[in-house]
């Protein structure tokens, strides 16, 4: 007997992983020592965690039996308490451990949150350019994605334009700040305006702050947590991957109401049972001991942003425009007539530069995505950023033929 489904499986509703696709462009290519690959494709630090944290991980792996057992579905109690205190101190608000859950990375947090918010036929508003994994999960969950184009000059979304997109099927608005892919940092007043809109319309406001620890602005990133009733609307997503270089350990977090966490708990228990205890123990130690180290990493990221900013005039002279800069990212408009995907592929082959095309972050046919590249400089120091700029300014797509 043949088993067939007349429906479309969830994974077939979305596109292939953009990072996996971009990495495939390297297949069969070699890069000489004098012109090594500049990999600006993925915003993941190549270096491991600091040695002190690695020793903590090794010690726990060897001598702490609980590091190898199932843990609490919503995360280890001490880590939830420490993160709640950290959020409260960072934002000047009041967050309790009962409002915090630990997840297997920020992507897992997003999926768990959406599972508690929306179902097939519902809609979620995503500013464009969007973070592609958010779009992929909405596709797979059969939740409609409503694009909210950002302002071409500022790369910021407009609450009034968002209001015009809300229907009876809308369940949430999603914001990412500092933004992936554009780098834009959303001003506190803008976030407050979106919170007010979401609250007035009975929606959730999901704010993904994976790159919170690398903002250029000083002080609290926003004042949303100072509202005593913050958890009736705000859902905050965070990640330890970038801050402590725990990418492979998959430790993220969500802050929301206890009632919503009860729903999220069902999702986590079904999908992962619990976040990894070993990674959580590392995150807890990091919160308690690595504040100064994280501050030094922020300084390094800001230095790289400055190097990218310094390269902007030379890029502009060659027709490239630095449209967005922040976090680990630069959003650069290219001067070619061709689609960004064609440009990105040619850059790998002919210039030894891997960057993701804006088409990976935009709806099909979107003009903004077609003319831009996302450059992730997590692993590029100032000299490498200078080399990157030189390769871009000397690149001319017209000189090359498609493979």
pLDDT, tens digit, 9 for 90 and up, residues 66-104? 999 999 999 999 999 999 999 999 999 999 999 999 999
Reply yes or no on whether the pLDDT at 397 is more than 90. Answer: no
Determine the CATH number of domain 52-289.
Answer: 3.40.640.10
Q: What is the pLDDT of residue 192?
A: 98
Neighbours of 113 (CB within 10 A): 28
Tell me the domain boundaries of the chain: 13-42+293-396, 52-289
User: Cα separation of 23 and 55, whole Å?
Assistant: 31
pLDDT band at 46 (very low <50, low <70, confident <90, very high): confident
Report how far apart, in Å, the C-alpha atoms of 317 and of each of 161, 313, 326, 398 are: 34, 6, 22, 18
123-161 confidence digits (pLDDT tens): 999 999 999 999 999 999 999 999 999 999 999 999 999
Average pLDDT over residues 226-232: 97
Q: Are 355 and 347 in contact (CB under 8 A)?
A: yes
> Any residues with CB less than 8 A from the CB of 261 and at least 6 apart, and which?
74, 98, 99, 101, 254
Reply yes or no on whether the pLDDT at 29 is more than 50. Answer: yes
pLDDT band at 45 (very low <50, low <70, confident <90, very high): confident
Average pLDDT over residues 322-334: 96
Could you give the percent of the chain with pLDDT greater than 90?
A: 91
Q: Are 77 and 280 in contact (CB under 8 A)?
A: no
Q: What is the pLDDT of residue 3?
A: 46
Average pLDDT over residues 35-58: 93
Torsion over CA: 267, 269, 271, 272 (sign): positive
Average pLDDT over residues 112-127: 97
User: Cα separation of 166 and 393, whole Å?
Assistant: 42
Q: What is the pLDDT of residue 248?
A: 94
Reply yes or no on whether the pLDDT at 42 is more than 90. Answer: no
Neighbours of 230 (CB within 10 A): 24
Report how far apart, in Å, the C-alpha atoms of 396 and of each of 25, 330, 335, 348, 402 are: 19, 20, 9, 13, 13
Reply yes or no on whether the pLDDT at 178 is more than 50. Answer: yes
Q: What is the mean pLDDT of the chain?
A: 94
- The encoded tokens of residue 267 equal 């999702």
Q: What is the pLDDT of residue 378?
A: 85
Reply yes or no on whether the pLDDT at 2 is more than 90. Answer: no
Determine the CATH number of domain 13-42+293-396.
Answer: 3.90.1150.10
Q: What is the pLDDT of residue 403?
A: 44
Reply yes or no on whether the pLDDT at 4 is more than 90. Answer: no
Reply yes or no on whether the pLDDT at 308 is more than 50. Answer: yes
**DSSP, residue by residue, 223-245:** SGGGSTTGGGTEEEEEESHHHHT
Q: Are 235 and 254 in contact (CB under 8 A)?
A: yes
User: Cα separation of 101 and 70, whole Å?
Assistant: 15
Q: Tell me if residue 211 falls in helix, strand or coil.
A: coil
Query: How is residue 172 annotated by DSSP?
Result: E
Among 292, 287, 229, 227, CA closest to 102? 287
Same CATH topology for 13-42+293-396 and 52-289: the answer is: no
Reply yes or no on whether the pLDDT at 50 is more than 50. Answer: yes
How are the residues of the chain apportioned to helix, strand and coil, as percentages rounded to the nearest 5?
50, 15, 35
């Amino acid at each position: 007997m043949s088993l067939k489904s007349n429906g479309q499986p969830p994974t077939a509703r979305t596109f292939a992983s953009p990072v996996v696709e971009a990495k495939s462009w390297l297949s069969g290519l070699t890069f000489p020592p004098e012109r090594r690959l500049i990999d600006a494709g993925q915003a993941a630090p190549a270096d491991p965690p600091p040695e002190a944290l690695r020793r903590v991980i090794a010690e726990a792996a060897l001598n702490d039996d609980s590091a190898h057992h199932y843990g609490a579905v919503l995360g280890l109690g001490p880590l939830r308490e420490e993160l709640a205190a950290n959020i409260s101190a960072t934002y000047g608000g009041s967050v309790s451990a009962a409002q915090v859950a630990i997840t297997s990375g920020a992507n897992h947090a997003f999926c768990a949150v959406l599972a508690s918010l929306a179902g097939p036929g519902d809609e979620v508003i995503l500013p464009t350019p969007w973070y592609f994994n958010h779009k992929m999960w909405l596709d797979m969950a059969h939740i409609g994605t409503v694009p909210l184009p950002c302002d071409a000059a500022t790369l910021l979304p407009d609450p009034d334009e968002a209001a015009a997109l809300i229907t009876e099927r809308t369940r949430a608005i999603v914001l990412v700040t500092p933004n992936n892919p554009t780098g834009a940092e959303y001003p506190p007043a803008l976030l407050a305006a979106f919170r007010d809109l979401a609250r007035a319309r009975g929606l959730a406001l999901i704010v993904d702050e994976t790159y919170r620890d690398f903002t250029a602005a000083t002080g609290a990133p926003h004042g949303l947590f100072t509202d005593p009733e913050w958890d009736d609307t705000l859902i905050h997503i965070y990640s330890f991957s970038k801050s402590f270089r725990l990418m492979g350990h998959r430790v993220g977090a969500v802050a929301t109401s206890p009632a919503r966490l009860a729903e999220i708990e069902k999702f986590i228990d079904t999908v992962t049972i619990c976040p990894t205890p070993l990674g959580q123990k590392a995150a807890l130690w990091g919160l308690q001991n690595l504040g100064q180290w994280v501050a030094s990493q922020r300084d390094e990221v800001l230095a790289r942003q400055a190097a990218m900013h310094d390269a902007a005039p030379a890029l502009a002279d060659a027709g490239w425009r630095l449209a967005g800069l922040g976090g680990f990212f630069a959003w650069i408009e290219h001067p070619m007539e061709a689609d960004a995907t064609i440009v990105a592929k040619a850059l790998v082959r002919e210039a030894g530069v891997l960057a993701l095309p804006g088409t990976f972050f935009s709806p099909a046919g979107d003009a903004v995505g077609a003319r831009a590249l996302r450059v992730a400089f997590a692993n590029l120091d100032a000299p490498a950023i200078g080399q990157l700029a030189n390769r871009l300014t000397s690149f001319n797509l017209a000189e090359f033929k498609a493979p």
